[in-house]
A and B are shown apart, each in its own frame.
Chain A
Amino acid sequence: ETGVTQTPRHLVMGMTNKKSLKCEQHLGHNAMYWYKQSAKKPLELMFVYSLEERVENNSVPSRFSPECPNSSHLFLHLHTLQPEDSALYLCASSQERPAGYGYLGEQYFGPGTRLTVT
């Protein structure tokens, strides 16, 4: 147990469905992250919420929409996905210092949601 939980662990959805992934951290951290991990590809950072501010990532398609209602919860809303979006989606949290410091806190990862788009 890392203190970061993700639900569901597995999800199969059609291309016209709308679904949401949920992440919750019990560590009191101030930053949360969504990653995509595809087979044979490195971890791809999708979104960051740090010190209650969202860091934009313009390379992520708009069919992925993050939501961070508070520092403990993070959602990833999915709609009209494509088969190539099938992957393991990982959530992580860390304790960060204010902007201007180069320090990168230790990230604690959840077990991931295995998403299959049919």
Chain B
Amino acid sequence: LAKITQPISMDSYEGQEVNITCSHNNIATNDYITWYQQFPSQGPRFIIQGYKTKVTNEVASLFIPADRKSSTLSLPRVSLSDTAVYYCLVGGGQNFVFGPGTRLSVLP
């Protein structure tokens, strides 16, 4: 299973773009990279998933370099409601592991 590291916390201001990086040096060939968002007293919620290069949806972008040993979640123009913990998940099938999570605080 991949060993995952993420920054413990990040601060940002409303309207800014936020990039959260996840390191997964021993990612396996078949592993996917997924990001989840969690608010207090709720279960995590899926944000985006990718395998390589770039993936974009209506809320975020995911950048994965060619070696796939890291990935970056990009949140455009964050708002106060984006204050949450963001988890990187690496793996596939029944073999996967969550990272420690990054606590993002968005300030007015």
Taking Cβ atoms with an 8 Å cutoff, the residues of A that contact B are 2, 4, 42-43, 45, 48, 50, 55, 90, 92, 96-97, 99-104, 106-112
Contact of A96 among B28, B32, B93, B99 (CB under 8 A): B93
Ordered by A's residue number, 27 sampled pairs between the chains whose C-beta atoms are within 8 Å are A42-B100, A42-B101, A43-B87, A45-B96, A55-B94, A90-B44, A96-B94, A97-B93, A99-B93, A101-B30, A101-B92, A103-B32, A103-B92, A104-B32, A104-B34, A104-B92, A104-B93, A107-B44, A107-B46, A108-B46, A109-B42, A109-B44, A111-B41, A111-B43, A112-B41, A112-B42, A112-B43
- What number of A-B contacts does a CB cutoff of 8 Å give? 67
Nearest neighbor of B33 in chain A, beta-carbon distance: A104
Q: How large is the interface on B (under 10, 10 to 19, 20 to 34, 35 or more residues)?
A: 20 to 34
> Given A43-B87, A102-B32, A104-B32, are A2 and B93 also a contact pair (CB < 8 Å)?
no
Docked pose: A97 CA to B93 CA in angstroms: 8
Interface: B31 (CB within 8 A): yes
Nearest opposing residue in chain A for B100, CB measure: A42
Other-chain residue from A4, A92, A102, A108 in contact with B30 (beta carbon distance below 8 A): A102
With contact pairs A92-B43, A110-B43 given, residues A42 and B98 touching in the complex (Cβ less than 8 Å): yes
Which residues of B sit under 8 angstroms from A45, Cβ to Cβ?
Answer: 96-98
Q: Which 5 A-B pairs rank lowest in CB-CB distance, beginning with the nearest?
A: A102-B30, A109-B43, A102-B92, A43-B98, A106-B46
Q: Separation in Å of the A50 CB from the closest CB of chain B?
A: 5
Identify which of residues 73-108 in chain B touch chain A, using a CB-to-CB cut-off of 8 Å.
87, 89, 91-94, 96-101
In the bound complex, how far is the Cα of B96 from the Cα of A91, in angstroms?
A: 16
